[in-house]
Amino acid sequence: MVPKIYRFVVKQEMINTDLLIHRVNLHGNLIQIQVRHIEEFFTSNQMLVFYQFSSHRLFFWIGKVEGKLLQKYIPLIKNQFKEKFHDLSIIRYFTIDDGEENEELLDVLQISLQELNIIKQKGNEWRLKVLENIQLLEEHRKSALQGEKYHEAIKIAEEIFKEAENIDSFEISEASRQWINEIQDQLDGERRFRHLREDLLTKAYHLRTLIDGKHAVEAHTAADEIRTIFKQYVIDDPDPQVKIELQREETLSRDFINALKQFELIEEDIKDENRRETKIPLLFKSESEK
């Protein structure tokens, strides 16, 4: 003899059910569920949609807790249902809150209120087990994060997200999604910084080659390019090797500027000397000039 607690599930499996059952996920989409899985979804965080073929009626059952958050999707769900099952007509709509199930819904489900409460209890027990598993996964995630195993922590967070999606837990799934995005952005930033550091080291090596060759102008251009990168990415503490080459370039640049000034002074002295020579009168003339 089949235990009474399973009567609803088994009975609907044995006959060609008069019901089409869906749940509403976090994003407001209809997801069809099999009758044998109904007890997994009769929980306080769900919104279930029952369509009865014989009466052309559509029932919305709304869980007490997070199911209330899904209630805003009812107009959208009505349109979705019509588009998905355009050959099914709907005569009436019913919205029923958890704990306020009426005789009409119980007749549709072909169970008593006591049996429905047992099914809901089993559903909430199943959800509690999922939440316990999520808590265990969260401990593993924190442990991986403390050990700086970031990719492992992300994988665990993705598992948490999937588990939260399975029980339609808004708070947990949203927190997991945000954490994954934040840590992924952090890893991407660190990856970009590593690439930037490698690029700067390459530029610093090129700068050193220019400095060693006393190519002051080219070295100054290369150093300015590095300094521009510092300003663009707000790098206050560059790699020591890069700092050394920039300091060497500054010294070379100062020496080069001093050398230019010395050259300009020498050039000016030469010009002055030439001007003085042109002012000396000629005491003798060549035969051609006489």
Last residue of a domain, one of 122, 142, 171: 122
Dist CA 90 CA 82 (whole Å): 9
Instruction: Find the mean pLDDT for residues 64-91.
Output: 84
Out of 68-72, 117-121, 137-141, 176-180, the most confident range is 137-141
Query: Which of 65, 59, 51, 57 lies closest to 99 in space, CA to CA?
Result: 65
Task: Convert the pLDDT of each residue in 148-174 to its tens digit.
Answer: 788 888 899 889 988 887 777 777 888
Cβ pair 198, 240 in contact under 8 A: no
What pTM was estimated for this model as a whole?
0.51
Of the candidate ranges 54-68, 153-167, 207-221, 232-246, the one whose mean pLDDT is the lowest? 232-246
CATH of the domain at 118: 3.40.20.10
Out of 68-72, 81-85, 273-277, the most confident range is 81-85
118: how many CB neighbours lie within 10 A of its CB? 19
167 assigned to some structural domain: no
Query: Which of 2, 20, 18, 21 lies closest to 10 in space, CA to CA?
Result: 2
Predicted pLDDT of residue 32: 87
Predicted pLDDT of residue 258: 66
153 assigned to some structural domain: no
Residue 234 clears pLDDT 70, i.e. is over it: no
Cβ pair 204, 226 in contact under 8 A: yes
User: Higher pLDDT residue, 168 or 272?
Assistant: 168
Q: Are residues 115 and 22 in the same domain?
A: yes
Last residue of a domain, one of 122, 148, 170: 122
Dist CA 163 CA 160 (whole Å): 5
Q: Are residues 32 and 116 in the same domain?
A: yes
Dist CA 110 CA 174 (whole Å): 36
Structural domain for 38, as ranges: 4-122
Task: Convert the pLDDT of each residue in 104-145 to its tens digit.
Answer: 888 888 888 888 888 888 878 888 888 899 999 999 988 988
226: how many CB neighbours lie within 10 A of its CB? 20
Dist CA 193 CA 184 (whole Å): 14
* DSSP designation for 148: T
Dist CA 124 CA 112 (whole Å): 18
Residue 5 clears pLDDT 50, i.e. is over it: no
> What average pLDDT is seen over the chain?
76
136 assigned to some structural domain: no
Query: Which of 81, 115, 110, 116 lies closest to 98 in space, CA to CA?
Result: 116
Predicted pLDDT of residue 9: 40
Predicted pLDDT of residue 66: 65
Q: How many helices (H) and strands (E) does the chain have?
A: 10, 5
Residue with tokens 């399973």: 6
Number of domains the chain contains: 2
270 assigned to some structural domain: yes
User: Higher pLDDT residue, 165 or 286?
Assistant: 165
87 assigned to some structural domain: yes
Q: Name, in order, each residue with C-beta under 8 angstroms of 237's C-beta and a sequence gap of 6 or more.
A: none
DSSP per-residue codes, 1-22: ---GGGHHHHHHHHS--SEEEE
269 assigned to some structural domain: yes
229 assigned to some structural domain: yes
Counting other chains too, the contacts that 4-10 makes at CB distance below 8 Å and 24 or more residues apart are 4/115, 5/115, 5/118, 5/119, 5/122, 7/111, 7/115, 8/38, 8/109, 8/110, 8/111, 8/115, 8/116, 8/119, 9/35, 9/36, 9/38, 9/39, 9/119
Predicted pLDDT of residue 271: 65
233 assigned to some structural domain: yes
Predicted pLDDT of residue 1: 29
Last residue of a domain, one of 107, 122, 137: 122
Predicted pLDDT of residue 137: 92
Counting other chains too, the contacts that 277-281 makes at CB distance below 8 Å and 24 or more residues apart are none
Predicted pLDDT of residue 259: 65
